[in-house]
Amino acid sequence: MFAKKAVFLLAILGILALVGATLSPANAASPLYTPFLISDQAADITHSAVAYNSQDHNYLVVWCHQQAGSTGVYARTVSEKGQLGAVYPVSDTTGDANRCDPDVAYASKHNRYLVVWQQQSGTNFTVHGRLFYPGTYLGSDITFSDLASSAYTPPAVDYAYSSDEFLVVWAHWGGPPSSIISQRITYDGLKEGANITIMEGHDTISAYDPDLAYNLSRNENLVAYTRLDTNATGGPNKDIFGWRLTHDQLKFNNELQISYLTPDELHPSVAALPSDMPEGGRYMVAYQVDFHDTSHNYLDSDTWGQIVTGDGTVMFPGAYFVIQGTEAHETMPAIASGLNARDFLATWTAAYPPDYVFSNIVSRTINKYGTRQAANGLGGFFANNSSVASGRGGDYLAAADDVTLFGNRDLYGMLLGNRVYLPQIKKP
């Protein structure tokens, strides 16, 4: 085990040197410590998610763990200094189903989490979840989706502080097209009404891969998703669209065209930054952009972003700002912000030329106007699937899975924050 960790740390140092990672300015979140191991199991660990506990001042990390004949969802607390709690199974771990792609949200009024995941049994997919209470107590298994789906349905969840409830969203495939579905959940794990369709796929339009963020300034949510138009000019095209929702899931105005450009845009991640600005807070949507040639051969991927104000104004209509665009393949972005944050923090996977085999996780702080701070390499060897949550005082925890040499895929973490260190001054 120690040799395994040593190889990983050597890989981190090598890749940091390769990409020339630098410390950011004082107002940007920079790595506070070296990367640390969150969970090392005998089988692969993938697809993490993170939430911050504002009462206990720690983070809860959830992930899916491959087991003999099935996959289950597990959780572990991580302190603000990186100390680890016990590992707990959140989902059932029986071999009758695979449970993966988890997400997690924290209900600060009641000191509990809602963990959600997509579950496959045979050829059917459903959306499940459980309340998780600090101290290992689990609520009953909840099935959110009223209808079984014949394809992939990864869910996302967030907690609305003012209305004191969770909102879960997912994609429902009953065969093409696909739609975005939602369900309100009370703080004690009960459904409020039936499933509601946020965006209904039709004709040549499908919607999938949703994410959402809660805006405390307006007690509203923004749900963003990938929208596939199979009849687009020049061939099928993927873009980023969204809806703003009231706390009771009424949709505002029209569907938002967040990013509608020639290349394929996909994998949106959303965060909200409350503020007293006239428009009432801001959202940032980070997403992956895939470039292809005229024969649709893959060329490159970048990570782009868009700002949406609280009143639904897209800040860069018909355009975007680049979170990271280099010769590396930048993919799978995640983004976070929160009540104690002044800015957004984005993380993503960067695979490096010439062979694009080696990859690490990179982060960057971005303010509410889309202004970027310096990027930070967070380490990795074959790292992927980053997740991030905002903590206290502008701190963050980022997590990602990675493969060590001759090992399996494990889960690692990195704490980031704003620190200004003053030199010691001797008294005369």
Query: What is the structure's pLDDT at 251?
Result: 86
Comparing 145 with 226, the larger pLDDT belongs to 226
Separation CA 80–CA 396 (nearest Å): 9
* pLDDT band, very low/low/confident/very high, at 114 (cuts 50, 70, 90): very high
In this structure, how many other beta carbons lie within 10 angstroms of the beta carbon of residue 395? 23
Q: How far apart are the first and last CA of the chain?
A: 51
Across residues 353-359, what is the average pLDDT? 93
The answer to which of 19-23, 199-203, 339-343 has the lowest mean pLDDT is 19-23
With a pLDDT cut of 70, the percent of the chain lying above it is: 90
Comparing 296 with 278, the larger pLDDT belongs to 296
- Please enumerate in sequence order all residues whose Cβ is within 8 A of that of 334, keeping only pairs 6 or more positions apart, or say none: 269, 286, 346, 347, 348, 386, 387, 388, 398
Query: What is the structure's pLDDT at 427?
Result: 56
Structure tokens belonging to residue 311? 């009143």
pLDDT above 60 for 2: no
Query: Whole-number mean pLDDT of the chain?
Result: 88
Taking Cα atoms as reference points, which of 198, 102, 84 lies closest to residue 155? Answer: 102
pLDDT above 80 for 26: no
Query: What is the structure's pLDDT at 153?
Result: 78
User: Residue 13: helix, strand or coil by DSSP?
Assistant: helix
The answer to which of 40-54, 101-115, 271-285, 341-355 has the lowest mean pLDDT is 271-285
Separation CA 189–CA 375 (nearest Å): 39
User: Residue 271: helix, strand or coil by DSSP?
Assistant: strand
What is the radius of gyration, based on Cα positions, of the chain? 21
Query: What is the structure's pLDDT at 423?
Result: 54
385-420 pLDDT tens trace:
999 999 998 899 999 999 976 688 999 999 999 875
pLDDT above 80 for 189: yes
Comparing 400 with 253, the larger pLDDT belongs to 400
* pLDDT band, very low/low/confident/very high, at 275 (cuts 50, 70, 90): confident
Compute φ and ψ for 3, nearest 5 degrees.
-65, -40
How is the chain split into domains, by residue range?
Answer: 2-58+68-96+140-153+172-341+350-417
Query: What is the structure's pLDDT at 428?
Result: 56
Which DSSP string do the residues of 338-360 spell out, in sequence order?
-TT-SSEEEEEEEEPTTT---EE
Separation CA 423–CA 418 (nearest Å): 17
Ramachandran region, residue 370 (left: φ > 0; alpha: ψ -120 to 50; beta: rest) = left
Our CA angle for 159, 74, 224, nearest 5°, is 35
